[in-house]
Structure 1
Amino acid sequence: MGGHTATRPKAAFCTGHIVRHVVVMAGTGAIGLMAVFIVDLLNLFYISWLGDPALTAAIGFSGVISYVQIAVSIGLSIGIGAITGRLIGAGRMEQAQRVASSFGIFMIGACLVIGMFTAWLAAPLLALLGARGEAARQATLFLEIVSPGLPLIAAGMGCSGLLRAIGAARISMNVTLMGAMISAIADPLLIVVMGLGLKGAAISTILSRLAVAVAGFLCARRHGLLALPVRTHVITDTRLVAQVAMPAILTNLATPVGGVFVTHAMASFGLAAVAGQATIDRIVPVAFAFVFALTGSVGPIMSQNLGAGKLDRVRATLVASLWLVALCVAITWAVLFLTQDMVVQVFSAQGTAAMLIHLFCNWTIAGYVFIGMLFVANSAFNNLGFPLYSTLFNWGRATLGTIPFVWFGMKFGPAGVQVGQVLGCVLFGSCAVMTAFGVVRRLHPGDRATQQAMPVIPPAQTGEAGMIELDELDHST
């Protein structure tokens, strides 16, 4: 009994200082997320050493499709984190374990199907992006190797989301750091020393994802977050999490879909423009890892406090997150402004590619304040029972906030494409955060919207004896 209680998940965010919770969760989440994207950055760094623009462009083209796959994985992990966090906040620990295990099976199966189909359709998908010749051939090879390994990164992200849901932020961070360490060792060996080029980058990515999956599973099991699924509940459990996960996937897919249009627009200006965009696309997730991490990190804080009925702490979490976004963007802008020449040299950028990097470091980086606002608003929507709002705003940014602005910007060359992409974010980020404050203001104990978002617990009953069957919870969520 004692051993079991030691690993029992606890609602850690329902007490203590909100700002501290947000900083710790987002800080450790940022390091973990940075580790995931450093794998891509290292691939680009060592490939750029080879001095072949076709290989650098191939990384850019394959990266757009890889981001679509990662977006699905992130959406699934948001769903599993939000629902288990809400159940833990409501005191239903055993139910949280069962739901996590049931949905974990679905996650791995769905990502295996997506990965295999991507590998099969790699060449025609890359042709749609404007990839031609050697760049297209190399990008196809990369995707054919990496895509079948999508279930590995999905499993790792899912377990990491579960660990964040109970506040085990440092352990969640260590899971993803494991992948970055493997990549840091394997990349130079496979790409440069063994001369495998892009094939070596793909093998390194698979090894990194395998490390994340194994480490995540072992840590989640050790912390009592997984249990044997109950066959009769697998479909019901999956449907419950899917209510958050599916809109979250649609939300996350919007960003790479918008990226597809931007990449296609850049491709019309030549390989140097694609290479410059690819470099920025890999700098951004590392430089703004804290901002991106807020989406996954403040979710468990909001969902636990919603589950516990502490709505004042939900509002405080939203405000603290927005202040931290502004601070983070200001610091990152200052650092990249001062080091922009070094960034250009490190990635061997020349001509159009160098111009795009300088434009980003000097001016367009400021737009990430509004992207951060959108991400924080999405987290609030996903975890407070309004996931379709996040889908609406993200797709609005990816379509109405990207296509007309980028199309007009193309008249001014590749620089106009980059500026157009940022201007759309200003509009949709501002509208999203105002809507999020409206949603939080309307949350009151006992009202219909709050009851729909919050699991209902029988009076004076918690734990196993007070469990509500999942079909009841399904209606209340």
Structure 2
Amino acid sequence: MRSSVKAKFTHGSVTRHLVRVTLTNSISLLSLYVVDILALYWLARAGDPDAIAGVGLVSVWQFIVISLCLGLSTAVMTIMSRQVGAGQPDAARTVAYAGVIGMLALTLIVSLLLLAFADPALRFLGAEANVLVSAAKYLRMLAPAFVAMALGQICIYILLAHGQNNRAMIVVLSGTAVAVALDPILIGYAEMGLAGAASSYAVSRMVALATGMYFVLMLQLIRAAPAAAVLKQLRSAFLLALSAVLSNIAPGAAAAYVFSRMAGFGPDVLAGATVADRVLQLSFGAYFALPSAIAPILGQNLGAQRNDRVVATIRSGALLVLAFGLVSSSLLYAFSEAIASAFQLQPPGHDLVVLFCTVGGINWTLIGLQFVALPVFNVMGKPLFSAVANWTRASVGTVPFVLFGAAQYGASGVLVGQLVGNALVAILTFGLCIGFARYHMTACCASWRQRKGSILRS
């Protein structure tokens, strides 16, 4: 079978490509968030706030693991998309192979560390007493499944780099379907609690991995390579991934800080923060999908020197963020009480969820602009800018605002402080992205005209 390697994003409507890829990626991510929030719902029915609080703390470390994997996956996808756009499919296949090998090694190390140091890792976030027991048990059951999750994830990004969006969505949905079926059985009816949630997650990730590898091999998007070639590609990918990891891990560091502050207000508040975090993921999952949608479109068009389409991609991305954010904010506000009541939380946690649904949407509409800026920096060869932007949001845009909010208004102040600070940094980052993109494309055009003139003169 011939490999279907084409630069699909260099032709046709940029807005249509962006909407289609974002929708595909969003459905994939939203399906995962639906699974998370359903698992939390079934755990909440047991009336154990300690278990819910434990899930929230474990989710911080889970997010950090996912961020590490996303960093390498994004690096591999960025390199591959530019090679596909430049008509170099063989090089793209070698990068895919190196990416899979690197991902396997990375997640094996991380999973073993989490298994060995689960208790201190959770105490660092403020876990104690029953919350620590529940969280440590859950983390140790979840850690081995991170390997399957990561390998399935890189398969998805290999498919996305080649424009195989529908197949990438099928990979995610295959695992999601398994989790949706298993959660009520294992958590609810079998009353396995956290063990049921972890088992459902592990089985769903293995199904997604099997589906992803099937598509990647069927389309011949990966090819084994000598060790020297693998190491060379891994060196390039890890250099790019280093900045991407630094960038992606920043929100996890911010979440760790915020959850540690929330832990000081008791398990009921921590349970409410956990639910609010899952509501955020479900409501604004499209934003998290946007960078992986923008990156291959930018990469292919930069590789093909289509700067007009690069500008159109950035503009369309910003408009999509604002439109989606306004709709999502309105829905959260309208159903705030119903959302909070569904999880049977005690008043402190219930009130925190209502507050997020009331004021969180408009702030996250603005925060979404940063998700447009980050892939622009990455694809245009300045991934360090992404890392600086994310760490600025995680530090300057989080710590002072949370400290002030906590001192003045308690747990509610922690939530609102983080939202306001993050939104301010996101607006600034998007403004810098516009200026950098203009400078980069002007410099590239001048260099291309100079090379073309030299060739003609020779």
TM-score of Structure 1 vs Structure 2, range by shorter chain: over 0.9
Q: How far apart in 2 are the matches of 1:444 and 1:374?
A: 20
Q: How far apart in 1 are the matches of 2:182 and 2:316?
A: 39
Q: How far apart in 2 are the matches of 1:148 and 1:17?
A: 42
Q: Please state how far the C-alpha of 1:8 moved relative to its aligned partner.
A: 2.9
Alignment of 1:279-358 (within 5 A): 279-358=275-354
1:200 aligned onto 2:171: no
Q: How far apart in 1 are the matches of 2:145 and 2:302?
A: 35
Q: How far apart in 2 are the matches of 1:212 and 1:250?
A: 27
1:363 aligned onto 2:359: yes
Q: How far apart in 1 are the matches of 2:202 and 2:218?
A: 25
User: Equivalent pairs: percent with the same residue?
Assistant: 32
Aligned to 2:436: 439
Q: How far apart in 1 are the matches of 2:341 and 2:446?
A: 53
* Per-residue Cα deviation, 1:422-455 (whole angstroms, up to 9, x for no partner): 111122101111111112101337639988xxxx
User: CA contact under 8 A between 2:372 and 2:430: conserved in structure 1?
Assistant: yes
User: CA contact under 8 A between 1:102 and 1:230: conserved in structure 2?
Assistant: no
Aligned to 1:216: 212
Aligned to 2:426: 429
User: CA contact under 8 A between 1:309 and 1:445: conserved in structure 2?
Assistant: no
Q: Please state how far the C-alpha of 1:172 moved relative to its aligned partner.
A: 0.7
Q: Alignment length, in residue pairs?
A: 449
* Per-residue Cα deviation, 1:56-80 (whole angstroms, up to 9, x for no partner): 1111111111111111111111111
Alignment of 1:158-197 (within 5 A): 158-197=154-193
Q: Please state how far the C-alpha of 1:203 moved relative to its aligned partner.
A: 0.9
Q: Please state how far the C-alpha of 1:301 moved relative to its aligned partner.
A: 0.2
The amino acid across from 1:274 in the alignment is L
Three-state SS of the structure 1 residue aligned to 2:441 is coil
Aligned to 2:149: 153
Aligned to 2:405: 409
The amino acid across from 2:287 in the alignment is V
Q: How far apart in 1 are the matches of 2:247 and 2:39?
A: 27
Aligned to 1:21: 17
1:135 aligned onto 2:131: yes
Three-state SS of the structure 2 residue aligned to 1:436 is helix
Q: How far apart in 2 are the matches of 1:450 and 1:146?
A: 50
Three-state SS of the structure 1 residue aligned to 2:143 is helix
Return closer, same or farther for 1:33/1:450 CA change in 2, 3 Å cut-off. Answer: farther
User: CA contact under 8 A between 1:444 and 1:450: conserved in structure 2?
Assistant: no
Q: Please state how far the C-alpha of 1:243 moved relative to its aligned partner.
A: 2.8
1:237 aligned onto 2:233: yes
For structure 1, the 5+ residue unaligned runs are: 452-458, 460-477
Q: Please state how far the C-alpha of 1:272 moved relative to its aligned partner.
A: 1.2
Q: How far apart in 2 are the matches of 1:374 and 1:430?
A: 7
The amino acid across from 1:58 in the alignment is G
Return closer, same or farther for 1:342/1:450 CA change in 2, 3 Å cut-off. Answer: farther
Three-state SS of the structure 2 residue aligned to 1:187 is helix
What TM-score does the superposition give when structure 1 sets the normalisation length?
A: 0.91
Q: How far apart in 1 are the matches of 2:435 and 2:296?
A: 20
Please provide the CA RMSD for this pair.
1.6
Return closer, same or farther for 1:449/1:328 CA change in 2, 3 Å cut-off. Answer: farther
The amino acid across from 1:55 in the alignment is A
* Per-residue Cα deviation, 1:94-138 (whole angstroms, up to 9, x for no partner): 110011111210111111101110121111111111111111111
Larger CA deviation: 125-134 vs 24-33: 125-134
User: CA contact under 8 A between 1:9 and 1:224: conserved in structure 2?
Assistant: no
Aligned to 1:78: 74
Q: How far apart in 1 are the matches of 2:186 and 2:381?
A: 46
User: CA contact under 8 A between 1:35 and 1:179: conserved in structure 2?
Assistant: no
The amino acid across from 1:170 in the alignment is N
Three-state SS of the structure 2 residue aligned to 1:433 is helix
Aligned to 2:98: 102
Q: How far apart in 1 are the matches of 2:274 and 2:446?
A: 42
For structure 2, the 5+ residue unaligned runs are: 449-454
Which of 396, 401, 419 aligns to 2:392? It is 396
What TM-score does the superposition give when structure 2 sets the normalisation length?
A: 0.95
Moved over 4 A (4+): 448-451
Return closer, same or farther for 1:450/1:40 CA change in 2, 3 Å cut-off. Answer: farther
Q: Please state how far the C-alpha of 1:350 moved relative to its aligned partner.
A: 2.8
Q: How far apart in 2 are the matches of 1:223 and 1:288?
A: 32
User: CA contact under 8 A between 1:112 and 1:149: conserved in structure 2?
Assistant: no
Return closer, same or farther for 1:22/1:370 CA change in 2, 3 Å cut-off. Answer: same
Return closer, same or farther for 1:177/1:103 CA change in 2, 3 Å cut-off. Answer: same
Which of 21, 37, 40 aligns to 2:36? It is 40
Q: How far apart in 2 are the matches of 1:450 and 1:183?
A: 51
Aligned to 1:267: 263
User: CA contact under 8 A between 2:329 and 2:360: conserved in structure 1?
Assistant: no
Aligned to 2:110: 114
Three-state SS of the structure 1 residue aligned to 2:335 is helix
Which of 383, 397, 400 aligns to 1:387? It is 383
Three-state SS of the structure 2 residue aligned to 1:444 is helix
The amino acid across from 2:145 in the alignment is G
Three-state SS of the structure 2 residue aligned to 1:393 is helix
Q: How far apart in 2 are the matches of 1:190 and 1:196?
A: 6
User: CA contact under 8 A between 1:311 and 1:443: conserved in structure 2?
Assistant: no
1:52 aligned onto 2:29: no
The amino acid across from 1:431 in the alignment is L
Q: How far apart in 1 are the matches of 2:332 and 2:115?
A: 36
